[in-house]
Structure 1
Amino acid sequence: MLLRRKLRTTLALTVTLAAALVGATKGSASTARAEEGPPRERQLLFYNHAYGVFDRETADAVEHSPYLRKFADFEVRTTTGADGTTWTGRYLKGRETYLEIFGVGDVPDTALGSAGLAVSTERDGDLATVLERLPELGVTDPLEFRQTRDFGDGVPVPWFDGVFTTDQYDAFGTWAMEYRPEYFADPRGRTEPPSYPGDVGRERYLPDVYRDRLMRDVTSVRIAVTARDLENSVPLLRAGGFDVRPTAGGGVVADRGGTTIRLDAVPRERVGLRQFTFVLNEAVKKRHVERLGHSTLTVGPGARAAWDFEEPRGTGAGQPSGPARQD
C-alpha cells in the first residue's frame, strides 16, 4: 500500500530530454503527433516531462534564479494530489515538454537522487493500445491509475490516466499517461482547444508563455538509474513506439517522438538526473553559463542549451523511494 501511495504521489508531482536549429526541431514532435494511420505504424507515446530530486542548495538556487525566469516559462508551485498529498516543484515549461526540479523534502518519502520520467499520448485512446502491447513485452501485471488534481476547492478533477509496468522500483520510475477530457474542460486548467478530433496532446496542455522566453522544448534527457529500474522502463518505451537501443555502458537510448531519452545503468548510490538539453526559440550569439547549486546551465552559442547536474551528494542518495509524483 505504501508503494502504491508513493506512486500516486509521484504522479501528482510529474508525475515529474538535440537539435542544432529551431527549424530542425520545431515540427518534429508535432509532425509525429499529426501522423495518420493504424497505431502499429505510428508513435503512441512521447516525452512529456522528467524530474529529479536534488540537494537543497541546488533546488534553492533554481527557485531564486532571476536568469531562469528569462530563460523559460518558470513557475514554483505546490500541488495537491488525489489523496491530499502535496509537493512543491520548480517547473520549466516549453511548447510541448517540460521539466521539474525538486529538493530533498519537497516530495514526501522521496530521497536525494530519485527521478521520474513521463511519456504521454497525443490522441485519445492510444494509452489503451499501449496497455494491449505490454503483455507481449513481458509485462503481465501493470499498475494502472487515475490521477486527479485539486485546484484548491477540495473537489478533485480527473487529470490523467496512467500506467507503470510495476510497483517494484529502487529510485526511478517511468509511467505512461493520457490527459483526461474533464481536465481540458475545466477552465482553471487554462488549456487550449483541440487542434484535431481526439487531441489530448502536450501542446494543448501547456501554455504559450514559452514564446516570450528562450527555451522552446526539451530535446534530450539523461538519467542514471539502477539495472532493475532500467529493466522496468524499457517495455513501456517499446510499447509506445520508441526505438530503444543498448549503449556500451549497459544503458539504453530511446529515440522517436521528438526527444531523445538516455538511461544509464549505475550502482544505486550513483542514481540521479544528469542532463537536459534544449532547443531555443532563437539563436543567441554569445555563450552564457549559469551556475545553479551543483548544476550548470550553458546557453548558446546558437539555438541550443544544456543543463548538467553533478552526482548527488550527501546522505540519502539512492535510498528506497519511488517516483516522487506525477503531474
Structure 2
Amino acid sequence: MTSSHTLPLPDGRRLTAETGSGGLRLSIDGRPLLSAACEPIEGGLVLAPDLVGERPAPLAMDAAWAAACWLFTGDPACRRLVWRGIEPDPASLRSGLLLADGEGDAISRRDAFWQLPGPWLRCPGITGYPAIARGDGVHLHRPPKPAGELYRRFDPALGLWISLRSLDIDDDLERFNRWQNTPRVLAFWQEGGDFLRHRAYLEGLAADPHVQTLIGCFDDEPFAYFEAYWAKEDRIAPFCAPGDHDRGIHMLVGEEHHRGPHKVRSWLSALVHWMFLDDARTGRVVSEPRADNARMIGHMQSLGFLREREFDFPHKRAALMVLDRRDFFDRCPGLSEPSTMAAAHENSYV
C-alpha cells in the first residue's frame, strides 16, 4: 500500500514523499529527487538509492537534504540514515549533511541536520561575526540586530507555521501594551503601564545592543513577545558564568487561544533553535523565570532545560534554567515529532 504526504517548506516549495513496499520516493514541487529502498535498523534506516549501472550512484545534496528533512521531521525515533552504494556530493560532506563512516557508507545524523540553517533561518546568521573585545576587555562588540522575519518552520504535529520576526515598535506597540496589562502576564512581568511607558521601554531595548526583541507568530498571527539577550552583558551573568556567545530568553504569550503545552513545545523549540542557528558558537541558552512559576519551569524542563539552582534578583526569586546545545540537538524536542504524516507510513519500510 502506497502513502503520499507533503511537507511545506519555508521558501514556498513543497516536499512530497511516497512510501510503501519498503521504498521511499521524494520530490519537490513535482521534481523527482530520490527513489530508494529502505530497511529499518536500530535508531534509523538504511537507504539504498536506485542505481544506474554498476558504479556508485552520485547523491545530489538536495536529495540527501530532502530525505533527512522528511525522515527526521516526522519520526522522533529516527536518529541516523545510512546511505549505501552512493557517491556523496563533496558539498554534502563539507557541510556536515553527510558524514563518511570509514566503511564505504555515508551517514546523515539527526543532530547534525538540525544544526544546518536550511530554509528555517530566514536571515543570515552571525557565526562569522568576529569576536571583538570592547574597551573593558571583557565584553564583546555585538553585531547589528537583524530586522524582518528571522525564522520559519512548519510544525506537522500542529499543522501550523511557527515563525519569529523582529518587533516593530509602531506596528506592535498596541499589542505589546495589551499583553503586558493582562492580569496573567502582569503577575509575572510586572511591566504594566500606558503606551508612553511601553514605547519608552521598547525604544530602550532597541538601543541596547545586547537584546533582540521578537514577535512569535502561528500562521503569521502574532501571539507572543520574546527577548533574546547576550547573557554575558545581562544581569544574569554573575549567576551563570556565561560563555562569550551564550544567550538568554524572556518569554510572554499574549494571546489566550495560543496557550497550552502543545503550543509551548512548538514555539519554545523554535525560539531555541533560532538562537542556536543564528550563531553556531552559542553553547547554552539560559533563562531566569520566577522560581514560583511552576508551569513555565515545567514546560522548559520537558524540552531539556535543567533547573540548576535558585538565586535572588532585587525584584524576584529566580530559577536558573540552562539548556546545553549538545543536549538540545541530541533530543531535538519539538523539531522531530510524531505527526499524521509519520503515522500514516510508520510501517511502510518493512
TM-score (norm 1): 0.28
- Greater strand share, structure number: 1
Greater Rg by CA: 2
